[in-house]
Chains A and B, each alone.
Chain A
């Protein structure tokens, strides 16, 4: 539970309010993690917040976090420069557990900043590509300018063993891609043989999961990454409790069979 000291190695500006930080542990011990896990991250003096780890799980020596400035703590992180100190503790939570999808197809649907928590699982699947059937990544964004990891998306799109579908809510004059929701561009799939991983705003996750259930995908084969007010990260403070579920420990990744009721319960 004690925060560990890290130093900022690099800062990549993704959009006008989002950066990706590459962090190196001061003690030299990498933070090994599983795709879908998060860490509690903060700059000295600004508090800590739960942020998904967005790096390559096979390269934990460089801890990556993609941060959007939505409050004081995250804004402080987006102002980091190379060499600045950052505290992080973790990793916490239950990840995507993508290994359960081996021998089948994998569909990853990410919306907005939700692409950050799924980036590690896409990298993990690609590293063991032979274990999976068809792999499709669907990415939704507000506008083309708001897309994260654009060079990497282009790299992925160029592979012939991976389908990448991008759609935006509003196009720009030079945009020749899809304009519409992620649910408008879901691929045809074999519902019995597909593991679905969904991450993004909760309404987007719910609509996507429901659309896939209507296509015959069993809810337990759809996993969503829940986000609630996580403070301790270890199931003690209760801030992230959703009925019987502690998002920081039982999640953040949950099967939709479990998450569906929690997502639609008024007041939760």
Chain B
């Protein structure tokens, strides 16, 4: 069974991170598991945890009228969920629900923020990688707005 340190080092979000930094961040980490339909967090919850997904699938969604759940996107192994941990007011903006049995490394946000404050190099590394993830998601959302598969007359 791999250690949390090994799981962090092997996750694409932390690719190429030096051993010392991995060890440093592992102090904030726990292994977590979610059953299908279990929520990792809900919109407006305090952003207390940053998740590195290892297995399974997570739906990022918004509650619609009544019981309706509107899935904005899904994230799978190798991705990250819970990006609001670094930005005040540190509140999640959407729900995150496991679509299947899901395993993740859960990093305590308070612990991460403290390490970023103490060591700006670590802070910059985290910000660079988060910005990359946000950029990719923004691009995905923008392209989907184009409705490329819709009827040509509708575009």
Interface string of A169-184 (1 = CB under 8 A from B): 1110101111111011
Partner of A17, one of B72, B143, B151: B151
Given contacts A113-B149, A173-B69, A203-B143, 18 further A-B contacts (CB under 8 A): A111-B148, A112-B148, A140-B149, A141-B149, A142-B149, A146-B149, A171-B74, A173-B68, A176-B57, A176-B99, A179-B72, A179-B73, A180-B73, A180-B144, A181-B144, A184-B136, A201-B148, A203-B146
B151 with A70: CB separation less than 8 A: yes
Nearest Cβ on chain A to B147's Cβ, whole angstroms = 7
- For residue B76, CB closer than 8 A to chain A, the reply is yes
A178 with B152: CB separation less than 8 A: no
Interface string of B135-155 (1 = CB under 8 A from A): 010001001101111111100
- For residue B59, CB closer than 8 A to chain A, the reply is yes
Q: With A70-B151, A111-B149, A178-B74 as known contacts, state yes or no: A183 contacts B57, CB within 8 Å.
A: no
A170→B74 CA distance, assembly (Å):
10
A151-176 CB contacts (< 8 Å) to partner B: 167, 169-171, 173, 175-176
Q: For B69, what are the chain A residues with a Cβ–Cβ distance below 8 Å? A: 173
B148 with A200: CB separation less than 8 A: yes
A177→B153 CA distance, assembly (Å):
28
Minimal Cβ-Cβ distance residue in B for A178: B74
Q: How many residues on chain A are close to B (CB under 8 Å)? A: 30
Minimal Cβ-Cβ distance residue in B for A171: B71
A178→B150 CA distance, assembly (Å):
18
Minimal Cβ-Cβ distance residue in B for A113: B149
A176 with B149: CB separation less than 8 A: no
A9→B148 CA distance, assembly (Å):
32
A141→B150 CA distance, assembly (Å):
9
- For residue B93, CB closer than 8 A to chain A, the reply is no
Contacts from B to A (Cβ < 8 Å): 57, 59, 68-69, 71-74, 76, 99-100, 136, 140, 143-144, 146-153
Nearest Cβ on chain B to A211's Cβ, whole angstroms = 10
A179 with B147: CB separation less than 8 A: no
Interface string of A105-140 (1 = CB under 8 A from B): 000000111000000000000000000000000001
Q: For B151, what are the chain A residues with a Cβ–Cβ distance below 8 Å? A: 17, 68, 70
Minimal Cβ-Cβ distance residue in B for A188: B78
Q: For A181, what are the chain B residues with a Cβ–Cβ distance below 8 Å? A: 140, 143-144
- For residue A32, CB closer than 8 A to chain B, the reply is no
Q: For B140, what are the chain A residues with a Cβ–Cβ distance below 8 Å? A: 180-181, 183-184
A204→B149 CA distance, assembly (Å):
9
Minimal Cβ-Cβ distance residue in B for A207: B143
Q: With A173-B68, A173-B69 as known contacts, state yes or no: A179 contacts B74, CB within 8 Å.
A: yes
List 5 tightest A-B contacts by C-beta distance, closest first: A112-B149, A171-B71, A142-B149, A201-B148, A179-B74
Nearest Cβ on chain A to B133's Cβ, whole angstroms = 12
Q: For A175, what are the chain B residues with a Cβ–Cβ distance below 8 Å? A: 71
A44-63 CB contacts (< 8 Å) to partner B: none
Q: For A167, what are the chain B residues with a Cβ–Cβ distance below 8 Å? A: 74
Q: For B71, what are the chain A residues with a Cβ–Cβ distance below 8 Å? A: 170-171, 175, 179
Q: For B59, what are the chain A residues with a Cβ–Cβ distance below 8 Å? A: 171, 179
Nearest Cβ on chain B to A48's Cβ, whole angstroms = 18
Nearest Cβ on chain A to B151's Cβ, whole angstroms = 6
Nearest Cβ on chain B to A252's Cβ, whole angstroms = 17
A17→B152 CA distance, assembly (Å):
12
Nearest Cβ on chain A to B148's Cβ, whole angstroms = 4
Q: With A179-B59, A180-B140, A181-B144 as known contacts, state yes or no: A169 contacts B149, CB within 8 Å.
A: yes
Q: For B73, what are the chain A residues with a Cβ–Cβ distance below 8 Å? A: 179-180, 184
Partner of B148, one of A176, A180, A203: A203
Nearest Cβ on chain B to A29's Cβ, whole angstroms = 34
Tell me which of A171, A180, A201, A203 has the highest count of chain B C-beta atoms within 10 A of its own C-beta: A180
Partner of B150, one of A142, A171, A176: A142
